[in-house]
């Protein structure tokens, strides 16, 4: 059963959003822990400011023998400065009171004793002010500036609560700003160091899983010396080993399926050679000169067939080592090795643009071109005079996101049987006595580069196309 294809999580469900949400959450939690003592200190300072005005009023009261003789304008100014409805000054068992002309008799009074300044008391008092009934009357109690003196203020709690709410909003805005700026800074740093490398590893594993025989999917390790760098190098080694094992497995499977045919063909060939050698051994006349070449040809055929099988079984499956390669030069070298360049009877045209440079393994791609050019030459040589002007050409074009290298000839074309099993080892040979291994290996090398090797339809002759992704292009 085909495995379900894995999909990378989106940016809104992956590590990135989880990381930034966690950072913001932690920062806000820290801000809340810091906020409570800060709010308590704000409330204590606010009450101390009011209490200091009360102390000033106490000095006035202490300096005046008769409080009732104080001008109403002065007392109202003192009360307004403190924002209080009444101020009480107590010293040596005596109390003096300043209050508004129209005294307020509150129903609900809460006491804030500034002589108790421990942290928990201040925090509980701040929370009580923030969430309690705002219409309460606040009784502020504190020590005066003289020994055994006590100052009390009666005032509405609403102004304190409003100032605390405004302060809380400011703290909230500052906290959110700090959280956002810190989260973004940490996000970019973490993304550069962790998220993007992990995402790259994940993308590579998913891509390699879909095409394990495509060597271009093997990850290229970075130069990092940390744990992620180690993971990249180990993943690259694992993918290279898996790539080689899959290639080798395909070769072994093809060999296993072809064992019966190899044994049959090899046995028949060697039997014919044995019969011929027996005849040669009994002859003592000039016929030996005619039979000897046939004997040699038959044995060479058997040896060549066996050697091709052994070479395919030992075929190394090393991943291609990519490097910028001028394709026109590669084609010229392959044509020379295939004995097409300078051939007395077959014309050769290399129409590959000189500026075409691909990031490929020159050695492996050269083998593919050599095989295709050699097959074209042998097909034209076998056709002989049936082809008026035999010619082989190599062209290269770019179309959108692909680059196509075509090897074409004007020979007799491929037989239907050869077309049906073109890239199947031991089945796809286009000529009698061939093993079909050349095209099978050429296809594997092309696929290892992330490309495709196909047989294109044309009215006459044979045309093979090497189709590579445009990502292999080396831009000038």
- Amino acid 348: pLDDT: 94
Structure tokens at 188: 């970019």
Domain 323-472, what fold?
A: Heat Shock Protein 90 (3.30.565)
pLDDT in tens, 208-249: 888 888 888 888 888 888 888 888 889 888 888 888 888 877
Distance CA 267, CA 290 (A): 24
Tokens 């700090």, located at residue: 178
**Given a cut of 70, is residue 410 above it in pLDDT?**
yes
φ, ψ at 202 (rounded to 5°): -65, -45
Structure tokens at 325: 């390669």
Q: CB of 151 within 8 A of CB of 143? A: yes
Binned at pLDDT 50, 70 and 90, residue 2 comes out as very low
14 three-state secondary structure: coil
Distance CA 436, CA 439 (A): 6
The domain ranges of the chain are 15-177, 215-317, 323-472
pLDDT in tens, 38-50: 999 999 998 888 8
pLDDT in tens, 98-146: 665 555 666 788 888 888 888 898 999 899 988 888 788 888 888 876 6
CA geometry: angle 413, 417, 420, nearest 5 deg: 95
Distance CA 153, CA 56 (A): 12
Instruction: Report the Cα–Cα distance between both ends of the chain, in Å, rounded.
Output: 46
Q: Which segments of 102-185 are extended strands (E)?
A: 109-113, 137-143, 149-156
């Amino acid at each position: 059963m085909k495995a379900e294809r894995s999909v990378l999580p989106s940016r809104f469900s992956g590590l990135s959003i989880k990381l930034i949400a966690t950072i913001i959450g932690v920062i806000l939690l820290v801000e809340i822990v810091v906020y409570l003592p800060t709010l308590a200190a704000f409330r204590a300072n606010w009450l101390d400011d009011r209490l200091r005005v009360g102390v000033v009023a106490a000095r006035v009261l202490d300096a005046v023998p008769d409080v009732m003789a104080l001008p109403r304008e002065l007392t109202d100014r003192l009360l307004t400065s403190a924002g209080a409805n009444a101020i009480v000054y107590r010293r040596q068992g005596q109390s003096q009171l300043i209050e508004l002309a129209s005294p307020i008799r509150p129903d609900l009074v809460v006491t804030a004793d500034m002589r108790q300044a421990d942290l928990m008391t201040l925090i509980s008092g701040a929370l009580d002010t923030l969430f309690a009934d705002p219409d309460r009357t606040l009784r502020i109690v504190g020590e005066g500036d003289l020994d055994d003196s006590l100052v009390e203020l009666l005032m509405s709690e609403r102004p304190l609560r409003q100032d605390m709410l405004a302060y809380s909003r400011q703290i909230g805005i500052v906290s959110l700003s700090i959280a956002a700026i810190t989260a973004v800074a940490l996000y970019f740093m973490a993304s550069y160091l962790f998220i993007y490398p992990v995402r790259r590893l994940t993308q590579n594993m998913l891509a390699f899983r879909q095409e394990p025989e495509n060597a271009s999917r093997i990850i290229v390790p970075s130069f990092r010396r940390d744990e992620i760098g180690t993971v990249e190098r180990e993943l690259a080694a694992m993918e290279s080993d898996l790539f080689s094992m899959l290639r080798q497995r395909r070769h072994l499977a093809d060999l296993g399926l072809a064992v019966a045919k190899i044994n049959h063909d090899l046995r028949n060939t060697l039997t014919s050679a044995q019969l011929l050698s027996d005849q040669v051994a009994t002859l003592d006349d000039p016929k030996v000169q005619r039979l000897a070449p046939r004997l040699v040809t038959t044995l060479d055929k058997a040896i060549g067939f066996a050697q091709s099988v052994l070479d395919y079984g030992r075929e190394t499956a090393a991943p291609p080592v990519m490097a910028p390669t001028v394709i026109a030069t590669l084609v010229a070298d392959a044509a020379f090795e295939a004995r097409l360049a300078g051939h007395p009877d077959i014309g050769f045209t290399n129409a590959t643009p000189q500026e075409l440079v691909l990031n490929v393994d020159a050695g492996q791609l050269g083998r593919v071109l050599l095989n295709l050019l050699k097959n074209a030459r042998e097909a034209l040589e076998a056709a002989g005079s049936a082809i008026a002007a035999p010619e082989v050409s190599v062209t290269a074009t770019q179309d959108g996101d692909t680059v196509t290298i075509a090897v074409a000839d004007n020979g007799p074309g491929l037989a239907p049987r050869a077309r049906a099993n073109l890239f199947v080892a031991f089945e796809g040979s286009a000529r009698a006595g061939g093993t079909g291994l050349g095209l099978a290996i050429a296809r594997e090398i092309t696929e290892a580069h992330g490309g495709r090797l196909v047989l294109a339809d044309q009215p006459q002759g044979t045309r093979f196309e090497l189709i590579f992704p445009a990502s292999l292009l080396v831009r000038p």
